[in-house]
């Protein structure tokens, strides 16, 4: 009886989900299949079958380096946003409601401007004649202007600001749900603030951190605009490589290989974070 | 080295609050509270919600730094110490068990924080599980336990580190009624066994009456009265305490005769009651007389100290009948009488209300209208 009812409901749900499902099939799954086929093609007409593009990509240390740099950029972005997000989240949950609204507004601010504008703003800040260098020079902290544009450091600084909301929002949400008396209990039992943070706050906020880390990783590895505008021609990541191969060199099969590689790399990173979460919950 | 037999002779320490005040911004939450809790004594802070009980408890635990006054444990002023150095055990209303840890890990948490060896921790966790009768539950997660069991684990966790003071914030509020009595007995047993100095916060007078050695009745941040449960019940010092504890009737009257501490008071209905009071009044003073329903009785005989009444309602409550009555002068009040099977009140004749034998009405000054 109940299984028949569930079956019926499933039927209805399928019909409700069908329009979106078909859209996905036509505009998401199908292009993916074409992309995969393209990566094994001889030319950009999907003709022939060859693994030459794959061999060329993975046989060349330069391209392998690009894959590694891309993954590393994602991990560094996750690490740096984590480092800044936890103190802000702790401050947030300890604040009064009015203060929380103000903090939330500041956190969301980057999302209210377009990526392009935010990225160009960072150029103004990071360039040799930029705000940051002028401040450092004025303070006497450096005698020559630092080169931050077209460096990984500059890119990470910009990405950290741009992607902070993605880490902070899930983290704040989860930390706000932790019973404040848990910290009090830990303190009364003789734990320092630091031990309380490590033993109670971190494990209980892990679901929020994993959601945030997943978003930051996926978004930092694929941040084409920031990577090209701040990284320039000197730093090449997978999205830039794909663009060059597809739009400049017109080697579509090779661009397809890079695309599939990026897709798999991001998915691998994302599943690694998900698995970390499952592992932490069971242990 | 710790061993189980030293468990009960933990050195208990007195706790002193010396003129402690606390304000949240402009709002005064605790107002010059002075309280001495003797070593091994359980004091209940009793009062309506919002009167500052939790704030006081959090000051003792060190979560809040009071704006004025001192907290002394043993002979040491603990104000500069952070919560993790005060050796105060606290049981929260929500239990605050760590949901990601097992019961055993919860109980061992404080021991580990103090750097006890793994072996000592394991041994003491087992010992504490036995103390709260939860053997075999060590590997469960808190969410797999009932409310009462969680409460026991919270107690075991607080007691495992042998605190100098035990604080309980509304410990029974989240339990259903049947479990409450069990846990009250359990807490009293553990507090005695460990010889603990304890403060329990509650807004439930029955709870306070049943397990506290002394009760501090609080109102608007101040302690109104501190005394044994019996003293608080029989000799309330303020109208607030009188009204907050138990149920009580109020009569308006004025002093007619004065003979040392014996006052003849004429009530609105004309009855004259003779009342002893430690307060002094003069002839003609407007007063309030309060008396508990069980110290009044219904009778059919009129006398100078009886009030003619008409019965409006009788309700059997437990072993008592509560009569809701009214006098011709418009005084409405309650009279309690023991409920005897078969016996019924004679409703036909006129009824009067008299003071029962050993009744002790209480006099309070009444602001003249
Ligand atoms: N964190 C706080 N900030 C501001 N006011 C508070 C805070 N905590 C409690 N109060 C106020 O202080 C008073 C006493 O609160 P509390 O100690 O929690 O009372 P109780 O435990 O007796 O119910 C209340 O009026 C309450 O609104
Ligand atoms: Mg409270």
**Which pLDDT score, from 0 to 100, does residue B3 have?**
41
Instruction: Look at residue A1 and tell me whether its pLDDT is greater than 60.
Output: no
Q: What are the tokens at B346? A: 């004679």
Residues of chain B with CATH 2.40.50.140: 248-365
CATH code 3.40.50.300 region(s) in chain B: 4-243
Mean pLDDT score across all residues of chain B: 89
Q: Do A179 and B158 touch (CB under 8 A)?
A: no
Give the strand pairing for B197-202 and B42-46.
parallel
Q: What is the DSSP string of B247-309?
A: --EEEEEEEEEEETTEEEEEETTS-EEEEE-SS---TT-EEEEEE-GGGEEEES---TT-EEE
- Average pLDDT estimate for A250-272: 94
Q: Which residues of chain B register pLDDT less than 70?
A: 1-11, 341-349, 368-369
Bridge partner list, B267: B253
Q: What token pair was written down for B83?
A: 């919560």
**ipTM computed for the complex:** 0.84
| Cβ–Cβ gap A191/B109 under 8 Å | yes
Instruction: Record the tokens describing residue A92, joined without a space.
Output: 């947030």
**Residue of B109, B115, B170, B174 to mutate, testing the A interface (most A Cβ within 10 Å of its Cβ):** B109
CATH number, domain B248-365, options 1.10.357.10, 2.30.30.90, 2.40.50.140, 1.20.1050.10: 2.40.50.140
Per residue in A20-74, pLDDT (tens digit) is: 999 999 999 999 999 999 999 998 888 889 999 999 999 999 999 999 999 999 9
Integer Cα distance of B142 and B148 in angstroms: 11
Environment class of residue B171 by beta-carbon count within 10 Å: exposed (0-12), middle (13-18) or buried (19+)?
buried
Name beta bridge partners: B258: B263
**Ligand 1, atom 1: closest residue by C-alpha:** B24
Which residue has its alpha carbon closest to ligand 1 atom 8?
Answer: B55
Cα angle vertex B364, ends B360, B369, to 5°?
135
In CATH terms, B4-243 corresponds, of 3.30.930.10, 3.40.50.970, 3.40.50.300, 3.10.150.10, to 3.40.50.300
B99 touches chain A (CB under 8 A): yes
Assign A174 a pLDDT band (cuts: 50, 70, 90): very high
pLDDT higher than threshold 90 for residue A182: yes
Ligand at minimal distance from the CA of B219 is 1
Residue minimizing CA distance to atom 7 of ligand 1: B24
Instruction: Note the pLDDT tens digit of each residue in A196-249.
Output: 999 999 999 999 999 999 999 999 999 998 899 888 888 899 999 999 999 999
The response to whether residue B82 sits with its C-beta less than 6 Å from ligand 1 reads: no
Residue appearing with tokens 């339990």: B175
pLDDT at A38 (0 to 100): 93
Taking the CA of B29 as reference, the closest ligand is 1
CATH topology (fold) of A47-108+167-282: MetI-like fold (1.10.3720)
Contact status of B88 with chain A (Cβ, < 8 Å): yes
Is residue A253 scored above 70 in pLDDT? Answer: yes
pLDDT recorded at residue B249? 93
Angle between helices B147-160 and B103-113 in degrees, nearest 10: 20
**Predicted pLDDT of residue A3:** 56
Place of tokens 């990071």: A126
Distance B56 CA to ligand 1 centre (A): 10
Angle (CA) B356-B361-B365 rounded to 5° is 160
DSSP state string for B7-49: GGG-----EEEEEEEEEETTEEEEEEEEEEEPTT-EEEEE--T
The residues that bridge with B167 in the sheet, in sequence order, are B90, B199
Which pLDDT belongs to residue A281?
67
∠ Cα B359 B364 B368 (to 5°):
135
CB spacing of B92 vs A185 below 8 angstroms: yes
């Amino acid at each position: 009886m109940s299984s028949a009812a569930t079956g019926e409901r499933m039927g209805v749900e399928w019909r409700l989900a069908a329009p979106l499902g078909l859209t996905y099939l036509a505009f998401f799954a199908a292009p993916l299949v074409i992309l995969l086929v393209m990566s094994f093609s001889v030319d950009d007409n999907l003709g022939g079958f060859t693994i030459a593009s794959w061999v060329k990509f993975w046989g060349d240390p330069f391209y392998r380096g690009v894959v590694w740099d891309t993954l590393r950029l994602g991990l560094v972005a996750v690490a740096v946003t984590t480092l800044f997000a936890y103190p802000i989240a702790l401050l947030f949950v300890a604040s009064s409601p009015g203060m929380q609204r103000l903090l939330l507004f500041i956190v969301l601010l980057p999302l209210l401007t377009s990526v392009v504008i935010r990225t160009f703003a960072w150029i103004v800040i990071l360039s040799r004649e930029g705000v940051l260098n002028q401040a450092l020079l004025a303070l006497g902290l450096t005698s020559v202007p630092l080169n931050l544009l077209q460096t990984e450091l500059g890119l990470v600084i910009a990405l950290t600001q741009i992607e902070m909301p993605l880490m902070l929002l899930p983290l704040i949400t989860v930390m706000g749900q932790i019973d404040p008396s848990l910290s009090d209990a830990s303190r009364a039992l003789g734990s320092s603030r630091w031990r309380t943070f490590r033993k109670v706050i971190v494990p209980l906020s892990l679901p929020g951190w994993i959601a945030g880390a997943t978003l930051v990783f996926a978004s930092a590895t694929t941040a084409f605009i920031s990577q090209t505008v701040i990284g320039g021609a000197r730093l090449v990541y997978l999205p830039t490589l794909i663009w060059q191969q597809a739009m400049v060199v017109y080697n579509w099969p090779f661009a397809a290989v890079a695309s599939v590689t990026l897709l798999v790399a991001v998915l691998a990173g994302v599943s690694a974070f998900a698995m970390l979460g499952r592992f932490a919950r069971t242990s | 080295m710790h061993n189980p037999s030293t468990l009960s002779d933990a050195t208990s320490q007195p706790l002193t609050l010396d003129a402690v005040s606390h304000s949240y911004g402009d709002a005064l939450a605790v107002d010059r509270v002075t309280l001495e809790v003797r070593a091994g004594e359980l004091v209940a802070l009793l009062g309506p919600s919002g009167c500052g009980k939790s704030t006081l408890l959090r000051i003792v635990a060190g979560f809040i730094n009071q704006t004025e006054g001192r907290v002394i444990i043993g002979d040491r002023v603990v104000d500069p110490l952070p919560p993790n150095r005060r050796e105060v055990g606290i049981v929260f209303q929500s239990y605050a068990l760590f949901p990601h840890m097992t019961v055993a890990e919860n109980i061992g948490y404080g021991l580990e924080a103090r750097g006890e060896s793994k072996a000592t921790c394991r041994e003491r966790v087992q010992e504490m599980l036995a103390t709260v009768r939860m053997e075999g539950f060590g590997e469960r997660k808190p969410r797999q336990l009932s409310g009462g069991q969680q409460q026991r684990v919270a107690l075991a966790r607080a007691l495992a580190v042998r605190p100098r003071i035990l604080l309980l914030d509304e410990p029974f509020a989240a339990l259903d009624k049947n479990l409450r009595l069990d846990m009250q007995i359990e807490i009293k047993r553990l507090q005695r066994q460990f010889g603990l100095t304890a403060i329990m916060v509650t807004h439930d007078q029955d709870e306070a009456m049943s397990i506290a050695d002394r009760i501090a009745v609080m109102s608007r941040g101040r302690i109104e009265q501190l005394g044994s449960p019996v003293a608080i019940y029989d000799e309330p010092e303020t109208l607030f305490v009188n009204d907050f504890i138990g149920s009580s009737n109020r009569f308006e009257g004025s002093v007619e005769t004065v003979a040392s501490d014996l006052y003849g008071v004429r009530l609105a209905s004309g009855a004259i009651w003779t009342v002893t009071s430690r307060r002094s009044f003069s002839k003609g003073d407007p007063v309030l007389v309060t008396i508990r329903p069980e110290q009044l009785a219904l009778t059919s005989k009129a006398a100078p100290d009886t009030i003619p009444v008409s019965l409006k309602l009788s309700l059997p409550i437990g072993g008592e009948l509560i009569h809701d009555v009214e006098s011709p002068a418009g005084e409405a009040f309650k009279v309690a009488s023991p409920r005897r099977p078969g016996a019924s009140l004679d409703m036909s004749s006129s009824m009067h209300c008299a003071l029962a034998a050993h009744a002790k009405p209480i006099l309070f000054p009444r602001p003249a209208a």
